[in-house]
């Protein structure tokens, strides 16, 4: 085969892969746009009682607000926990309806997953705070690949990623989770922890609850404050 054709084909394939995995359009937020000593605690894959409720107890103890990215079918299963999150003035976000790897699915499927959960979250909000298209969205496993980026960009909507992974889905040892988060946290960090589990299964998250208590105490001692994403929309 002609070497020029081989090189051109390889370049085209690499370019297509790059465009798929790193779309050059749309907004992907990995941190708060600030150098202030503030951070955003975010929790994925809930609601998951009793661990979400225990987590809310810890946040209340420290007078800290957080953002919860909720799975739609778990929201249907545990509306009372979602209601508590809202009543206690935490922010709720969209984490898809069934937690598939959206980045590998057709745009129409991606849109249905997002819109279905938007509708559920709006119903959980009797005061109408969460308007369609204004609810923050985070893709499962943060797979902001081409189909997800395209759907979000079409709706003029950002994807909320992070710059601090807790890796608490791999371990529930509080010491390890705490150490991982504190080591990586800087001013403006968006921190990802998990009050539930992917594939919508029930999961023991007692380690995340304990780690949250330790993380907040340590960061407060180091002069940090905590915000919801909605508190700093102009800094996203």
* Active-site choice (44, 168, 195, 213): 44
* Active-site choice (45, 168, 194, 213): 194
45 catalytic residue (yes or no)? no
Residue 207's Cβ-side half-sphere holds a number of Cα atoms within 13 Å equal to 18
78 catalytic residue (yes or no)? no
SS3 content of the chain, % helix, strand, coil (to 5): 50, 15, 35
Helix, strand or coil, per DSSP, at residue 85: helix
Q: Count the Cβ atoms, other than its own, within 10 Å of residue 82.
A: 24
Cα separation, 57 vs 50, in Å, equals: 11
Contact 215, 182 (CB under 8 A): yes
Per-residue buried b or exposed e for 51-65, using 16+ beta carbons within 10 Å of the residue's own CB: bbbbbbebbeeeebb
181: left (phi over 0), alpha (psi -120 to 50) or beta: alpha
Residue 33, burial from CB neighbour count under 10 angstroms (0-12, 13-18, 19+) = exposed
User: What secondary structure letter does DSSP report for 234?
Assistant: G
Catalytic residues: 44, 194
């Amino acid at each position: 085969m002609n070497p020029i054709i081989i090189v051109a084909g390889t370049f085209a394939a690499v370019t297509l892969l790059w465009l798929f995995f790193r779309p050059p359009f749309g907004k992907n937020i990995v941190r708060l746009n600030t150098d202030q000593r503030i951070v955003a605690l975010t929790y994925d894959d809930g609601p998951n009682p009793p661990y979400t409720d225990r987590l809310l107890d810890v946040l209340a103890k420290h007078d800290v607000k957080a953002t919860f990215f909720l799975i739609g079918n778990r929201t249907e299963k545990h509306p009372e926990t979602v209601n508590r999150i809202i009543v206690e003035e935490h922010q709720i976000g969209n984490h898809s309806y069934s937690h598939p790897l959206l980045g590998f699915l057709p745009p129409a499927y991606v849109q249905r997953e997002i819109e279905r959960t938007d509708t559920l979250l709006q119903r959980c909000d009797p005061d109408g705070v969460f308007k369609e298209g204004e609810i923050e969205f985070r893709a499962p496993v943060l797979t902001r690949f081409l189909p997800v980026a395209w759907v979000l960009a079409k709706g003029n909507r950002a994807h909320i990623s992070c710059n601090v992974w807790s890796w608490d889905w791999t371990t529930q040892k509080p010491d390890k989770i705490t150490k991982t988060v504190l080591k990586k946290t800087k001013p403006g960090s968006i921190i990802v922890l998990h009050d539930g589990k992917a594939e919508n299964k029930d999961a023991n998250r007692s380690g995340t609850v304990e780690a949250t208590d330790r993380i907040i105490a340590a960061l407060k001692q180091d002069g940090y404050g905590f915000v919801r994403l909605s508190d700093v929309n102009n800094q996203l």
